[in-house]
Amino acid sequence: MTSLTGTVALTRFILRRDRIRILVWIVPLVVLAALTVVGIKGVFPTQAALDQTAAATQHNAAAIAFNGAPQGLDTIGGQVAFQFGAIGMVLVALMSIFMLGRLTRGEEEAGRLEVVRSLPVGIHANTLAAVLTVAAMNLAVGVLITAALIAQGLPAAGSVVFGVSFILVGLVFGGVTLLVAQVTESTRVVYGVAGAVVGAAFLLRAVGDIGDGTVSWFSPIGVAQKARPFADERWWPLLLLVAAAVLLVAAAAALAVRRDLGAGLVAARPGPPAAAPSLGHPLGLAFRLQRGSLFGWGAGVLVIGIAYGWIGPTVDTFIGQNQALAQLLTGAGGGSLTDLYFATSFRVLALLAMGFAIQSAVRVRSEETSMRADLVLATPVSRWRFAASHLAVACVGSVILLAVAGLATGLSYGLAGGDMQSVPRLLEAALVYAPAMWIMVGLAIALDGLVPRWVGVSWALLVACLVVGFLGAVLDLPGWLQDLSPFQQVPRLPAASLTLLPLVAMSAIAAGLTLLGLLSLRRRDIGRI
Amino acid sequence: MPVAISTAGLIKNFGSTRALDGLDLSVDTGEVHGFLGPNGSGKTTTIRVLLGLLRADSGEVELLGQDPWRDAVELHRRLAYVPGEVSLWPSLTGGEVIDLFGRLRGDLDRHRRDELLQRFLLDPTRKTGTYSKGNRQKVALVAALASNAELLLLDEPTSGLDPLMEAVFQDCIREVKAEGRTVLLSSHILAEVEALCDRLSIIRLGRTVERGSLDELRHLTRTSITAETVRPAQGLADLEGIHDLEIDGAHVRFEVDTDHLDPAVRRLGELGVRSLVSHPPTLEELFLRHYGDELAQEPERADPERDTTPLPRP
């Protein structure tokens, strides 16, 4: 097959070039899975403890919405699948999206693929090499997770189903990425659209699991959970994922031969011959450049907020009249189960807003490495103004996203049968995350100023916040480590009361980091250092 | 005459690579100054130091009487820059980018902008992501030429332009010069430098190796002579400064160091000249002579900033 000539050489090239990046994705995923088992064993030392939590979780709509349908929860394996399954599959989906997006459309957009394609290399060779690499990564994650679970004494059948479901979810989202990469010309848009599909998958699963489970079948993550690892395993739902992955890759391949290198299926349209008045200062430029991604993240936050609000009234009905159970679930901290549910909802929504904040803040660096910053800085625009403009969009934009999250959740909750008086409370519960956003923006620019090469670490910090936020308790991470996450310092409104001190302190730290970053940026060389 | 750009003993290291190694550059106000050197010799690094994007490790730099690092913002009101590799925001149109730069500089002249768009045959409604290299370069050129900047820093501004556009560019630079503005023109297109530049500086390995007017520099190289003489050419080989002598009956070809041209022509006269063709040294020959032999022996030096179009080798 001449269309595949060179695949082997290109695959080896990718493995060599991206070996660090590949390990940075695989190792933490596997370690997290292994640590979850250790943590669960510690949290539930006896069968009685497992039985108790399994009974309670049946009535905990919040836990079901975020983790999945309760199945096999009276076993260690079932708990591991419940606690780590959904979030782990989101991570493995993101791994496929970012790796495959970079290796296909990213290479093409950068013009590097053009050079490769001018060599005696087949039309599909680079794509296939990328797919093979990402498939191998998913395989490694699945096999290693299975091995880690079996090594800690969990049943083999469940461990294998659990591991295989990771592989297949990764492959399905790889297929989604590949398909989107054919349609659009921008790598950023590829990440955005494929990321939105992950969000939709997470959401459909939540809606389905809260209800009778039907809707979950439309989500790859939901389908994977239908294989019921550590409950009564069944293999056939996994075949659906295999079929989906094959279809997606085939569709992408069919589209790939119909388009030119570097082009999408949608041709660029002409635009205005002159600039709007707003495009006349650095802030206007920064907003114009990030408008699209603000709307993209905004749409995601809006939809998820509406869905979470809509589920809200169900949470209390799940538990019915059983006051003792309510006491058990909410713990000593007080607050209603619904409040606890919303507190967790805003953690998820705030993570999305933080995604936008980081994306905007690291833009300062990508403008520099693309040499576009040279052109702006060669005009009478100071480095300070150039960077601060992007940071302003990051700081204000992420707060707007939080407001959208709070309002969407609140209004939808009210309309679904909750009470409209909750809207201001829920808006407040979302907005308290603002200082956490600013800290991340500050960290990103401080990295940019001091060690520009390491700006990408900002994204790793986002994943760390995600992990600490959702697995911190289960993993039994040391308290000081958890406290490092800005998310842990945010009062968990509406379940907890508002305390200003941590918010003020975080804002001050954020301001300090931003100042440090901007000052360092003024002192160093500009360019691809 | 006041000096627009002056650097002395400029040194810039990137890690263990020395990009500038005591570079001296002096550009008078109102002149078009050619800035030549092989790939990786430090031209782009110099220009980025002049823009205040890089801080020199040591040495002196003065631009329009100010310090390019400390007074960057003030200075940038008075200069315009065109990079060799123009990278723009793919989602903005060419027209939007030109307006943006004009407004950032604060001197957008709509009439001039539209005139330049026409001269360079640039469609301002297209997204810059769909532009070719040459068209992206035109965007940067139109933005720079539409400004009132008193100093233009041009880093290989025409490497992507076709010959028609090259002619338009040269016209524009002549107009800029007529207005008394200063231009620093880094280029590999030697015909362009010969056509436009009053003086030039040639750098190699981060150091200035030649500077002066084209005429002055020509004295440093050889003139080639082809002649037909009445009597067979004898005695030429004994003269000083004669190279590559070929005698074929009455026909003779040789190159002579420009300083020794006079005795060689006298000798030819004694032999009885039937025809004589003399080529003054072109800039290209000057350039190749300066680098040709040495480049082959020097280890390749990577430009830490970027690579540019290759220089023809002898």
Average pLDDT over residues B148-165: 94
Element (H, E) at B58: strand B58-63
Residue B199, beta-bridge partner list? B33, B213
Whether chain A has a CB inside 8 Å of the CB on B133: the answer is: no
- What is the per-residue pLDDT for A334? 54
Instruction: Report the sign of the C-alpha dihedral through residues A108, A110, A111, A115, in that order.
Output: negative
Q: Residue A279 is nearest to which of B53, B87, B99, comparing CB atoms?
A: B99
Q: Residue B87 is nearest to which of A269, A270, A371, comparing CB atoms?
A: A371
- What is the per-residue pLDDT for B153? 97
Residue A293 CB-half CA count within 13 A = 30
Mean pLDDT for chain B overall: 87
Question: A176: which 2 tokens?
Answer: 């989604």
Q: How far is CA A350 from CA A75, A108, B126, B258, in A?
A: 32, 33, 37, 76
Q: Closest-CA residue in chain A for B147?
A: A379
Is residue B241 within 8 A of residue B260, CB to CB? The reply is yes
- What is the per-residue pLDDT for B313? 38
Mean pLDDT for chain A overall: 92
Q: How far is CA A371 from CA A47, A364, B16, B88, in A?
A: 61, 11, 23, 9
Give the integer Cα–Cα distance in Å for A114 and A375: 26
- What is the per-residue pLDDT for A82? 95
CB contact under 8 A, A271 and B140: no
- For A496, which DSSP code? S
Q: Residue B127 is nearest to which of A271, A378, A525, comparing CB atoms?
A: A271
> Of the ranges A134-138, A216-220, B64-68, B203-207, which one carries the lowest mean pLDDT score?
B203-207
* Chain B interface test: which of A188, A261, A375 (most B C-beta within 10 Å): A375
Give the integer Cα–Cα distance in Å for A32 and A508: 32
Q: How confident is the model at residue B282 (pLDDT cuts 50, 70, 90)?
A: confident
- What is the per-residue pLDDT for A470? 83
- What is the per-residue pLDDT for B169? 97
- What is the per-residue pLDDT for B300? 45
Whether chain A has a CB inside 8 Å of the CB on B42: the answer is: no
Average pLDDT for runs of 10 along chain A of length 529: 86 95 95 93 92 88 90 94 94 96 91 87 91 97 97 96 97 97 88 93 92 93 96 95 96 88 76 92 96 93 93 80 66 70 92 96 95 96 96 98 97 91 95 97 97 93 89 84 89 89 96 98 88
Q: Which domains does chain B have, with CATH numbers?
A: 3-217 (3.40.50.300), 222-279 (3.30.70.260)
- What is the per-residue pLDDT for A106? 92
pTM score, whole prediction? 0.87
Specify the higher pLDDT residue, B45 or B302: B45
Whether chain B has a CB inside 8 Å of the CB on A491: the answer is: no
- What is the per-residue pLDDT for B201? 93
Q: How far is CA A209 from CA A202, A206, A237, A506, B1, in A?
A: 11, 5, 16, 36, 82
Q: Closest-CA residue in chain B for A278?
A: B100
Average pLDDT over residues B13-27: 94
pLDDT(B303) > 50: no
Q: Residue B305 is nearest to which of A279, A381, A527, comparing CB atoms?
A: A527
- What is the per-residue pLDDT for A322? 67
| Cβ contacts of A525 on chain B, cutoff 8 Å | 53-55
| Cβ contacts of B92 on chain A, cutoff 8 Å | 271, 279, 288
Is residue B198 within 8 A of residue B191, CB to CB? The reply is no
Chain segment A231-267, per-residue pLDDT in tens: 999 999 999 999 999 999 999 999 988 888 777 777 7
What is the least distance, in Å, from the CA of B241 to any CA of chain A? 47
Give the integer Cα–Cα distance in Å for A102 and A186: 11
| Cβ contacts of B140 on chain A, cutoff 8 Å | 375
CB contact under 8 A, B79 and A370: no
Q: How confident is the model at residue B292 (pLDDT cuts 50, 70, 90)?
A: low
Specify the higher pLDDT residue, B307 or A106: A106
Whether chain B has a CB inside 8 Å of the CB on A106: the answer is: no
| Per-residue b or e along A296-335, where b marks 16 or more CB atoms closer than 10 Å to that residue's CB | bbbebbbebbbbbbbbbbbbeebbeeeeebbebbbeeeeb
Phi and psi of B256, rounded to 5°? -135, 140
pLDDT(B145) > 90: yes
pLDDT(B104) > 60: yes
CB contact under 8 A, B95 and A374: no
CB contact under 8 A, A378 and B130: no
ipTM value: 0.84
Whether chain B has a CB inside 8 Å of the CB on A375: the answer is: yes
